[in-house]
C-alpha cells in the first residue's frame, strides 16, 4: 500500500487533475472487487433492491420455461398444464419431444362428404389435426405468391374410429383439444305421389323448393 502526497499533480492525456487533501489514492494487489472502506468503523452504503423490484421478491418471478432451442417465432413457450394423479400422464414428460409439440391445440372433427361424386369413406371416421399457431410460422413467397409454413405439424392428421378415442389420445399427449360436431341434415325420401297429398296450408307453386 502506498500513499501519494496531496500536493502532487497527476498527469493525464486530457488535463492536469489536482488531488485534494481529502482524497487518498490506494493501490491494492491481487484484488478485483471494490476497495475496503477507509475507516473500518464507518459503514459503507451498498446497493439494495427496490421494494417493488423482482429481486426483492424472488418468489414472484415467473417460473414459465422458455424454449430457447427453437426459432424466435416459436408459438409455444409453456409446458402442458399439470394434471392430477388420477389423470393420464403426459407422454411428452418421458418421450423427450421438443417443447413445440407439447402444449399444442388440436381439433377433432368428422369430415363431411365432398360435393363431388366421390365416396364418403373419410366421413365415417373422426379426424384430429393440429390447429394453426396464432403466432408466426406462415409467410408468403414473394416470387410465386405461394403460402409457406414453418410449422412441422401443419397438414398432419390422424384418423380415429370414434370421438372418444381421439379425445383420449389428445389427453395422453397433453394437448388442448376442441371438438367440431358434424352438421348433419336429415333427408327424408320423397315420392311422386306426395305432390297430390292434401295440404291444409297454402299450396306451393314450385314444389321443389
Range list of H helices, the chain: 92-95, 163-173
The answer to whether 49 touches 42, Cβ cutoff 8 Å, is no
Residue 128 predicted with pLDDT over 90: yes
Residue 185's pLDDT is: 79
Please give the CATH topology (third level) of the domain spanning 92-180.
Answer: Double Stranded RNA Binding Domain (3.30.160)
pLDDT number for residue 196: 82
Whole-structure pTM over 0.75, yes or no?
no
CA distance 98 to 82: 17
pLDDT at residue 34, as a whole number: 57
Residue 171, Ramachandran bin (φ over 0: left; ψ between -120 and 50: alpha; else beta): alpha
What is the Cα–Cα distance from 68 to 141, expressed in whole angstroms?
27
Predicted confidence band of residue 68 (pLDDT cuts 50, 70, 90): very low
Give domain limits for the chain. 92-180
Range ranked top by mean pLDDT from 33-42, 109-118, 150-159, 166-175:
166-175
Amino acid at each position: 500500500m502506498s500513499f501519494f502526497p496531496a500536493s502532487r499533480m497527476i498527469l493525464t492525456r486530457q488535463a492536469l487533475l489536482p488531488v485534494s487533501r481529502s482524497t487518498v489514492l490506494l493501490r491494492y494487489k491481487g484484488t478485483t472487487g471494490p476497495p475496503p472502506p477507509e475507516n473500518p468503523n464507518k459503514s459503507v452504503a451498498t446497493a439494495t433492491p427496490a421494494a417493488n423490484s423482482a429481486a426483492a421478491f424472488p418468489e414472484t418471478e415467473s417460473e414459465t420455461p422458455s424454449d430457447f432451442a427453437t426459432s424466435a417465432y416459436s408459438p409455444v413457450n409453456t409446458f402442458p398444464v399439470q394434471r392430477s394423479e388420477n389423470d393420464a400422464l403426459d407422454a411428452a414428460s418421458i418421450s423427450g419431444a421438443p417443447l413445440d409439440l407439447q402444449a399444442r391445440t388440436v381439433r377433432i372433427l368428422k369430415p363431411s362428404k365432398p360435393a363431388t361424386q366421390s365416396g364418403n369413406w373419410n366421413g365415417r371416421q373422426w379426424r384430429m389435426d393440429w390447429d394453426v399457431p396464432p403466432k408466426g410460422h406462415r409467410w408468403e413467397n414473394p416470387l410465386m405468391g405461394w403460402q409457406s409454413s414453418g410449422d412441422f405439424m401443419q397438414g398432419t392428421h390422424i384418423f380415429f374410429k370414434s370421438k372418444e378415442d381421439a379425445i383420449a389420445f389428445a389427453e395422453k399427449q397433453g394437448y388442448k383439444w376442441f371438438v367440431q360436431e358434424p352438421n348433419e341434415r336429415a333427408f327424408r325420401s320423397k315420392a311422386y305421389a306426395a305432390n297430390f297429398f292434401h295440404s291444409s296450408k297454402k299450396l306451393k307453386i314450385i314444389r321443389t323448393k
